[in-house]
Structure 1
Amino acid sequence: MHDVVIAGAGPIGLFLANELALSGCSVLVLEADQDPNPPLKALPLGLRGLNAGSAETFYRRGLLEAIAKASGVNAEKLGADPEAIEAPAPRQLSHFAGITLDAADIDTAALPFRLPGPAMEGFMTSLEAVATVLAEQASARGVEIVRSVPVTAVSQGDEDVVATAGGQQYRARWLLGCDGGRSAVRKLAGFEFIGTSPLFTGYVAQVTFTDPEQLPLGFNLTPNGMYLRTPLEGHLGMMDFDGGAFDRSERLTRDHLQTVLRRISGTDVTLDKVHLASSFTDRAMQVTTYRKGRVLLAGDAAHIHSPLGGQGLNLGIGDAMNLGWKLAATVHGHAAEGLLESYTVERHPVGAAVLDWSRAQVATMKPGHNAPALRRLVRELMSTPDGTTHVYRSTSGLFNRYDLDNDHPLVGRSAPDFRFDDGTHLGDLLHQGRGVALDFTTDRALKGAAQRWADRIRYAAGPVRNSLGLAAVLVRPDGVVAWASDTPDRDAFGLAAAQWFATPED
């Protein structure tokens, strides 16, 4: 019997496999597809954007350089000047409803607790690149990946759960559903999945145009919908506001795609050939809880929405980073009371906010008599410093704040990347997936208190370039600040550490 069986060998399932194996859990991954790199995951259709928060997550596990390299990106260009004291202004910004904004308009004074480090920017990648790096790392850590075995049944008892896949039964203490928007695990385990119906059918395709000059590059909103052309050869996206009426079980033909494109673009453009195509909708759905007994969900298995703004992969990575260490602690028997329940408590509101962000973009792009006036107003508001900053805060993945019942403004946020005088960053200290106690005092005031949790918390002391006025910080394994203080209060530190790292027996 394994500690954990994961359904789904996409980026989210593989990230979780790495997190659990890092802590010594035995992990088995079951994947329905036989091909580890199907065409839909490769460029151009597998094109995805990693936001700055996801880049930071990979950095904190020592994976940023490998994923950047697999994505054709120079990792050094994602970071700040090594000699910088203050964080640089953001250079990249997501769009809103196809409205491109200028990162120079971001008010950096409204971005609290940022420090310079190696992961300051997001970048473009592909599902194939991310999954390949994560699969290699998982295999090196002893994770077994079994392919061509779709999950067909799930049953669970008080002590274990059984997944039937490929005609075999796989028993584990926990089952994770990371098997996408049409998750079999979600359905078989009986999760409630609620939300809103679609307004459009979307298409993404790799095609050969006879006359591509008729279609400008970039987002193109028209009276009949939207089409997108990227610099990638033959990469085409469309949104047809048909109420999601297209039967997505039907094969996508050249004639159908050409008809939709001509109607949306208002041109007589010709598709010479369709090499690969897929459809989607803006249906926005979320499970009411991310856990039912010994079954948990992450990524698209827990929430689906339109791909506008590229939030799906990033939201799933955030789920995985939040869940991995909590489930590992549960497996090893040293989870604090209520720790696993905090996964839903913390991540469900983040998912709900992304669904609403997606809905707002769809409503802004929907054609109609009043649509141009609405889009002009939204563009004017978004183009102000406050509006542009709001878009960045909402999409960068750096400014989520969990409610950890602590009034300190840093608690519940992603920790700043404090840098010690020897050049070590906080991100370096998180590579092993343990918590970190940062002690900036000269007398090592928290050393004794931190040693109580030496198997779960790494203690690091010394002067840093910029302490932000703090004397000590406790950081969870996922990089979230659990406690912070401008005085070295041993008792307060001990209480905070116990909240996240103490077992009931402790």
Structure 2
Amino acid sequence: MHDVVIVGAGPVGLSLACELGLAGCSVLVLEREAEPGSPGKTAPLGMRGLSAASVEAFYRRGLLDPLLTASGAQNGFFGAQPPADEPPRPRFGGHFAGMMLDGSEIDMADFPYRLPSPAFRSVMTHLDAVETVLARQAAKLGVEIRRGVAVTAVTQGDETVAAHAGPDAYEARWLVGCDGGRSTVRRLAGFEFVGTEPQFTGYTMHATIDGLEQLRPGFNLTPTGMYVRMPNAGTIGIMDFDGGAFDRSRPPTREHLQAVLRRVSGTEVTLSEVHIASSFTDRAMQTTAYRQGCVLLAGDAAHIHSPLGGQGLNTGLGDAVNLGWKLAATVRGHAPEGLLDTYADERRPIGAAVLDWSRAQVAVMKPGPHAHAVQAVVRDLIGTRDGTTYVFERISGSWIRYDLGDGHPLVGRSAPEFRLDDGTRLADLMEDGRGVALDFSTDRRLHASAMRWDGRIRYAAGTAAQDLGLGAVLVRPDGVVAWAGGDSPDPEGFERAARRWFGAPAS
């Protein structure tokens, strides 16, 4: 019997497997597809933008360089590395409903708790690269991945759960469904899935197009919808406001795609050949709970929405990193009471906010005079420095702050990339998946307390040129600040936070 069975070997399932593997859990991943990779996961259709929050997660596990290599040199960081004493600035800030942001207008002063880091920027990659890097890491950590296994039933006992695939049963203490928007685990385990129905059908395709020059590059809002001409020649995205009427159980034909593209773009382009195509909608749904007994959900299995802004993959990776260490602590028997419940408490509101962010963009894009009037207002707003910064905060993940109670404004946020004077970075200390106590005080005031959690909390001491006026910080394994001490850190405050997140001390 395994500690955890994960259903789904996509980015979310593999990321969760790696987090659990770091903690020494016995993990089995079941994947329906017999082989990894597919044409839809490689460039160009498989291209995705990783938010700063997701890039940070890869960076803290030592996986950012392998990811950049697997993604291709041309898909690395946007812009050169920033000077060591300067916060990084994105070359562009993304878009809202197809309306592009000017990266030069992002007010970096609005990020007072950010320190220079190669992670604070977006990275373009593709799904195959993400899965390849995570699968390699999972294998190194002893995770078993079985492909060609389609789960057909889920049964729960008092303390165990089993995923059934035909005559085979895979038993574990916990089962996590990471099997996408049409999740089998979600359906079999009886999770309630609620939300709003689609306004449009979207298409992405790579095609040979006669008259390609008629299509303007980038995002283009039109009186009948939106189309996107991507940098890769012949790669097009279309949003057709048909109420989601297209039958997605069958692949779109060349004739259908051509008709939709002509109608939405207002051109007479001809698709002489469609090499690959897929469809999607803006259906926005979320489960009412993220856990039922010994079954949990993460990623698209728990929430689906339109891909506008690339929020789906990034939200799913955030789920995995948040859940991983909490589930591992529960498996290992040292989790404080209620720790696993904080997964849904923290991540479900994030998922709900992302769904609303997606809905807002759809409302702005919807053809008609009312939406067109709103577009004019939104363009004016995002053309301001404050508006640009606000939208960038949302799409980069920088807005996320978990409600961990009263305390320093940094508590609940992603930890800055503190760097000790000996050159040690916070990310260096986080690769093994433990929590980190950074003690900047000269008298090493936290040393005795932190050592009581040796094995769960890694203690590091030293002065830092940029300590943001803090004497010490406690960082959870997911990179979130759990406690921040003032100039003279209080060991009792540290002790309370450590017990809350890491349970009773080991000694």
Aligned partners of 2:245, 2:369: CA distance in 1, in Å? 22
Distance 1:123 1:310, change over 3 A: same
Contact 2:52 2:397 in 1 (8 A): yes
Q: Is 1:95 the counterpart of 2:128 in the alignment?
A: no
Which residue of 2 is the match for residue 48 of structure 1? 48
Which residue of 1 is the match for residue 444 of structure 2? 444
Which residue of 2 is the match for residue 237 of structure 1? 237
Contact 1:419 1:425 in 2 (8 A): yes
Distance 1:79 1:495, change over 3 A: farther
Matched residue SS, 2:99:
coil
State the shift of 1:83 in Å: 5.8
Which residue of 2 is the match for residue 305 of structure 1? 305
Distance 1:58 1:222, change over 3 A: same
Q: Is 1:381 the counterpart of 2:364 in the alignment?
A: no
List gaps (5 residues or longer) in structure 2: none
Which residue of 1 is the match for residue 491 of structure 2? 490
Aligned partners of 1:217, 1:112: CA distance in 2, in Å? 35
Matched residue SS, 1:237:
strand
TM-score (norm: length of structure 1): 0.97
Aligned partners of 2:255, 2:85: CA distance in 1, in Å? 57
- Which residue type is aligned with residue 399 of structure 1? W
State the shift of 1:87 in Å: 1.8
Contact 2:90 2:122 in 1 (8 A): no
State the identity as a percent. Answer: 65
Which residue of 1 is the match for residue 58 of structure 2? 58
Which residue of 2 is the match for residue 460 of structure 1? 460
Aligned partners of 1:82, 1:447: CA distance in 2, in Å? 34
Matched residue SS, 1:151:
coil
Contact 1:31 1:146 in 2 (8 A): yes
Contact 2:181 2:301 in 1 (8 A): yes
State the shift of 1:110 in Å: 1.4
Aligned partners of 2:97, 2:377: CA distance in 1, in Å? 13
- Which residue type is aligned with residue 180 of structure 2? G
State the shift of 1:166 in Å: 4.6
Aligned partners of 1:230, 1:461: CA distance in 2, in Å? 48
Aligned partners of 1:83, 1:361: CA distance in 2, in Å? 35
- Which residue type is aligned with residue 23 of structure 1? A
Distance 1:23 1:417, change over 3 A: same
Measured against aligned partners, the alpha-carbon deviations of 1:317-370 in whole angstroms (never above 9, x if no partner) come to: 100110000000000001011100000000011111111110000000000123
State the shift of 1:459 in Å: 0.2
Contact 2:446 2:491 in 1 (8 A): yes
Aligned partners of 2:457, 2:287: CA distance in 1, in Å? 33
- Which residue type is aligned with residue 376 of structure 2? R
Matched residue SS, 1:226:
strand
State the shift of 1:167 in Å: 3.7
Aligned partners of 2:236, 2:81: CA distance in 1, in Å? 37
- Provide the aligned C-alpha RMSD in A: 1.6
Aligned partners of 2:191, 2:139: CA distance in 1, in Å? 30
Matched residue SS, 2:369:
coil
Contact 1:79 1:119 in 2 (8 A): no
- Which residue type is aligned with residue 137 of structure 1? Q
Measured against aligned partners, the alpha-carbon deviations of 1:233-269 in whole angstroms (never above 9, x if no partner) come to: 3211111101011111123111111111111111111
Stretch moving more, 110-119 or 464-473: 110-119
Which residue of 1 is the match for residue 120 of structure 2? 120
Matched residue SS, 2:95:
coil
- Which residue type is aligned with residue 2 of structure 1? H
Give the paired residue count. Answer: 506
Distance 1:69 1:375, change over 3 A: same
Contact 1:79 1:117 in 2 (8 A): no
Which residue of 1 is the match for residue 396 of structure 2? 396
Contact 1:78 1:119 in 2 (8 A): no
Stretch moving more, 268-277 or 72-81: 72-81
Contact 1:51 1:396 in 2 (8 A): yes
Stretch moving more, 395-404 or 330-339: 395-404
Q: Is 1:200 the counterpart of 2:200 in the alignment?
A: yes
Matched residue SS, 1:116:
coil
Stretch moving more, 331-340 or 398-407: 398-407
Aligned partners of 2:505, 2:468: CA distance in 1, in Å? 34
Contact 1:47 1:127 in 2 (8 A): yes
Which residue of 1 is the match for residue 216 of structure 2? 216
